[in-house]
Amino acid sequence: MMPKDTILRAFTLIELIASMVVVGIVAAVAAPLIAAASDAYVAAAENRNRVEQVAHAMDRAVRLVRDAPSTAPGSGQPDITVAAVDNIEFGDGSELQLVGSTLMLTPAGGVAAPLCVGVTTFELTYIGEDGLWNTIGTPQNTQRIGIRIVANGQELQSAVFLRIATGSPAS
């Protein structure tokens, strides 16, 4: 038996209903905020993936162009067999080419593989020694190649100095 001076306390039905209403209101306010934050995270992750895809394509394109083979050892002239605005091919068989909306990479002695999909623009600019002269008609005089890739709403540009033209050893 309990002593007479002990008072039992408990929640009343009204207090329980009031607390459930307050929790419901808090949940109703917080749910859209959580959903918006989740949507923003997904959008940011998708954007990051698009940027990384284009950055990877640019990195590979820059490496391929920078390490262009020469026509003859010590000549300082690149062995470019095809020089077009959206295609470059070297004497060793390596190539970058836009096919439809896919940028294709063919390594020397390798097989063509997709480098980047969703490409809307792939531009190559062939520049001579003076920095102004467009050498697309005479690619053996090319000193620098500008590369521009636009894919999935992302744009990257780079200028690549050919190692053989600058006398730098290939690594």
88-119 pLDDT, tens digit per residue, is 999 999 999 999 999 999 999 899 999 999 99
Do 170 and 78 touch, CB atoms closer than 8 A? no
Given a cut of 60, is residue 142 above it in pLDDT?
yes
pLDDT in tens, 28-62: 999 999 999 999 999 999 999 999 999 999 999 99
When pLDDT is cut at 50, 70 and 90, the band that residue 9 belongs to is: confident
- Please report the pLDDT score of residue 168 as a whole number: 56
Q: Is residue 129 part of a domain?
A: yes
Query: Is the confidence at residue 122, as pLDDT, over 90?
Result: yes
Strand order in the sheet with 144-151: 119-127, 144-151, 154-161
Q: Is residue 4 part of a domain?
A: no
pLDDT value, residue 86: 95
Residue 53 in domain? yes
Distance of alpha carbon 86 from alpha carbon 159, whole angstroms: 15
Q: Which residues span the domain enclosing 159?
A: 46-166
**How remote is the C-alpha of 139 from its chain's centroid?**
28
Overall average pLDDT of the 9-23 stretch: 90
Average of pLDDT values for 140-165? 91
Q: What is the pTM of this model?
A: 0.75
Position 31 in a domain: no
Place 165 in a pLDDT band, splitting at 50, 70 and 90. Answer: low
Would 113 be classed as within a structural domain?
yes
* Residue 34 within any structural domain of the chain: no
Query: Structural domain tally of the chain?
Result: 1
| Residue 73, helix vs strand vs coil | coil
H/E stretch holding 120 reads: strand 119-127
Confidence of residue 167 (pLDDT cuts 50, 70, 90): low
- Is 16 a domain residue? no
163: pLDDT strictly greater than 90:
no
pLDDT exceeds cutoff 90 at 4: no
Q: Tell me the average pLDDT of the chain.
A: 89
Backbone phi and psi for residue 88, each to the nearest 5 degrees, phi listed first: -140, 135
- b vs e for 75-109, b when ≥16 Cβ sit within 10 Å of the residue's Cβ? ebbbbbeebeeeebbbeeebbbbbeeebbbbbeee
CB–CB of 141/135 below 8 Å? yes
Residue 32 placed within a domain: no
pLDDT given for residue 171 in this prediction: 47
Which residue matches tokens 């959903």? 35
